[in-house]
Structure 1
Amino acid sequence: MKTLVTGATGFIGSSIVRELLKDGVEVRVLVRENSDTRNIDGLDVEVAYGDIRDGESVKAALKGCDIFYQTAALIAFWVSNRKMFYDINVEGTKTALNAALEQGVEKVVYTSGAMTIGFHGADTLANEEGEFNLWDTGDHYFRSKYLGEIEAQKICQRGLPLVIVNPSGVIGVPDIKPTPSGKIVLDIVNKKMPGYIDGGVNLVDVEDVARGHILAAQKGRIGERYILGNANLSVKDFFGVIGEASGIQPPSLKLPYSVAIALAYLYQFVANITRKPPVITPPGVRMASKYGYYDVSKAVNELGLPQTPIKTTIEKAVNWFRENGYVKAA
């Protein structure tokens, strides 16, 4: 059995590749010519060059493949050209999945995100029936992933044997870029985070997410969504676990929403001048002030999704950042 993974140079995609190789699966990866391949360097994979926005390159890469993991996406808090989110996460998804439909693959797993299910409050554990309610945050990553999932569902209705997985806040190693979740860990360890605000998040280990993708291909029901998550933590408690794992005092200042949003606009103003990502963005503050808590029982019960303790995951991340030179000397 041969498998194609797009987004294989990324955080989740490369973890899927490593898990597949552990299982003895023959893996082909679709990468762009100018991709940073550090996440897959040295792995025993067949490389096909192309782009999910180019249907012909996807179809060529899918030849001889039974399973297709469409994980490729632009994941970021901020980019200077917001149109890129929609070009990749919506149009690219549509193009890649249409190519899979034409090629007649046996099973497709599409990586969406838990945010497409919405954030429904501190007292609610949202499940796969939840509806997107984050358009007004202004976060173009969230918007584009929501629109991309809609396109995926439409193609599934046309006959694509598709399972959708919705990872929550993913943390783990290696985190070269680093990811948005990893950047929060790193900013606290490097004492760049000015404070915290009321809000909550669901967190999960990247290796559990990778295994969840493979289990979705094996056991997932066509047309279904599966939330790949684990622990529900308030922002304050999340920061506290990072502090315990790192030995660094986490920010103790609770920022009023009005102060946090003002700081975010200031950071964004500077970023627009320097072209360097800000510590936090206005959409990021709006998102962080909400509670994205999830019920992950469907994936645990139907797929057997692993549940690594989140403190263990954060400890691994902190140690990896330190060992690889991401943490500034005290």
Structure 2
Amino acid sequence: MKVAVTGAAGFVGTNLLDLLVRSGHEVTAIDRIRSEHAPEGVTWVNGDVLDVESMKRALDGVEVVYHLVAMITLAQKDDLAWTVNTKGVRTVAEAALAVGVRRMVHCSSVHSFDQSNCGGVLDEQSPRSVDASIPVYDRSKWAGEIELRAVIETGLDAVICNPTGVYGPVDYGLSRVNSLLRNAARGRVPAAVHGAFDFVDVRDVAAGLIAAGEKGRTGENYLISGHMLGMHDAVRKAARAAGRRGPMYSFPLSVIERVLPLAEPIGARFGSDVLSRSAMAALLAAPVIDGAKAASELGYAPRPADETIRDLVAFLVTSGQLGRRSQLSSVV
């Protein structure tokens, strides 16, 4: 089957390309850059997700398109991120409908849900990120879904996936979470915080997207979740997988909340948003993700977190992003 992936050179895109090629599909990769790590046999197209005619040419003859393009930011306001995450979705959807694409799978995010106001448990019916105080990324991901639904109402067959915190191999650019785990594997994380979040292996996200394309119901959302993982536990596992001891101390989130008013502006002066309310929001909310819908309708089942962390550390070593120890340890 001929399929296309927008944002193909990114973190999720790289893993999705690999799984699609291994599954025997003819794959068109749509991005402004070409990944040197993509599998052989992929056809690269320089497409603009804000230009309908560009996307029509890129999607001509495609049966299924996976839309991954998004701008991730912790900023409160970012006009370009808003445009890409909203108009970009609408443009791809309209182009897909115009050229007769059979199905569109949109990769949204758990951040399109208001995690602070879901009552502690988040499912596909939970409140959405509409409040103006919520960072622009979260609000734009929900607005992008609204744009897609408008095209679904005119005849497009599309489904929406909402992954949680994505991590794991393979990653050549290193996401925030993977970067933290690499630092832990290097022995450079002496302390952590008590917070936890639902993290999902990027390879499981790729599998969930494909399953949604095959089995998902038109217009439905599917939370692509992993496992609730404490940050202290995660960095300790990464450190021990690399043969290091890992952090001995962790700080309660209440301490982080108290210092944020001072730490946030200081970090901003040095170009860092690690200690910011936007960065800490998910850990502070820490909702339990109900993945029952994806499990029952898509047959989705995430792998254990220990396996992801062990595989990530091994990948970082083999890809030259982490110095090799004499022997990598099992995750404890």
Answer yes or no: is 1:288 the counterpart of 2:286: no
- CA gap 1:89/1:203 in 2 versus in 1, 3 angstroms: same
Among 41, 44, 47, which residue is 1:47 paired with?
44
Query: Partner letter of residue 8 of structure 2?
Result: A
- Displacement of 1:123 in angstroms is 7.4
Kept after mapping to 1: 8 A contact 2:187/2:239? no
Unaligned runs of 5+ in 1: 272-276
Among 91, 97, 103, which residue is 2:99 paired with?
103
Q: Secondary structure at the match of 2:313?
A: helix
- Residue aligning to 2:315: 320
Write the distance in 2 (CA, Å) between the matches of 1:328 and 1:84.
37
Q: Secondary structure at the match of 1:27?
A: strand
Answer yes or no: is 1:57 the counterpart of 2:54: yes
- Displacement of 1:136 in angstroms is 5.9
Unaligned runs of 5+ in 2: 326-332
Q: Secondary structure at the match of 1:215?
A: helix
Aligned CA RMSD, in angstroms, stands at: 2.7
Matches for 1:148-167 after TM superposition, within 5 Å: 148-167=144-163
Write the distance in 1 (CA, Å) between the matches of 2:205 and 2:266.
35
Kept after mapping to 2: 8 A contact 1:30/1:50? yes
Q: Secondary structure at the match of 1:69?
A: strand
Q: Deviations over 1:13-66 (max 9, x none)?
A: 12111111111111111121xx251342x4211111111111111100111111
Write the distance in 1 (CA, Å) between the matches of 2:20 and 2:74.
29
Among 164, 167, 175, which residue is 1:168 paired with?
164
Matches for 1:114-263 after TM superposition, within 5 Å: 114-120=110-116, 124-133=120-129, 135=131, 138-190=134-186, 193=189, 195-246=191-242, 247-250=244-247, 252-254=249-251, 256=255, 257-263=257-263
Q: Deviations over 1:161-211 (max 9, x none)?
A: 010000111112121111122123224334555744453311111111101
Answer yes or no: is 1:90 the counterpart of 2:93: no
Kept after mapping to 2: 8 A contact 1:168/1:227? yes
- Residue aligning to 1:25: 25
Answer yes or no: is 1:113 the counterpart of 2:109: yes
Query: Partner letter of residue 90 of structure 1?
Result: T
Q: Secondary structure at the match of 1:148?
A: helix
Q: How many residues align?
A: 321
Query: Partner letter of residue 259 of structure 1?
Result: V
- CA gap 1:146/1:138 in 2 versus in 1, 3 angstroms: same
Query: Partner letter of residue 55 of structure 1?
Result: V
Write the distance in 2 (CA, Å) between the matches of 1:317 and 1:279.
22
Answer yes or no: is 1:67 the counterpart of 2:68: no
Kept after mapping to 2: 8 A contact 1:67/1:217? yes
Kept after mapping to 1: 8 A contact 2:4/2:28? yes
Kept after mapping to 2: 8 A contact 1:127/1:296? yes
Kept after mapping to 1: 8 A contact 2:186/2:239? no
- Residue aligning to 1:274: none
Q: Secondary structure at the match of 1:253?
A: strand
Write the distance in 1 (CA, Å) between the matches of 2:283 and 2:132.
13
Kept after mapping to 1: 8 A contact 2:189/2:246? no
Write the distance in 2 (CA, Å) between the matches of 1:279 and 1:162.
35
Identity %: 28
Query: TM (normalized to structure 1)?
Result: 0.87
Write the distance in 2 (CA, Å) between the matches of 1:49 and 1:13.
15
Write the distance in 1 (CA, Å) between the matches of 2:248 and 2:264.
16
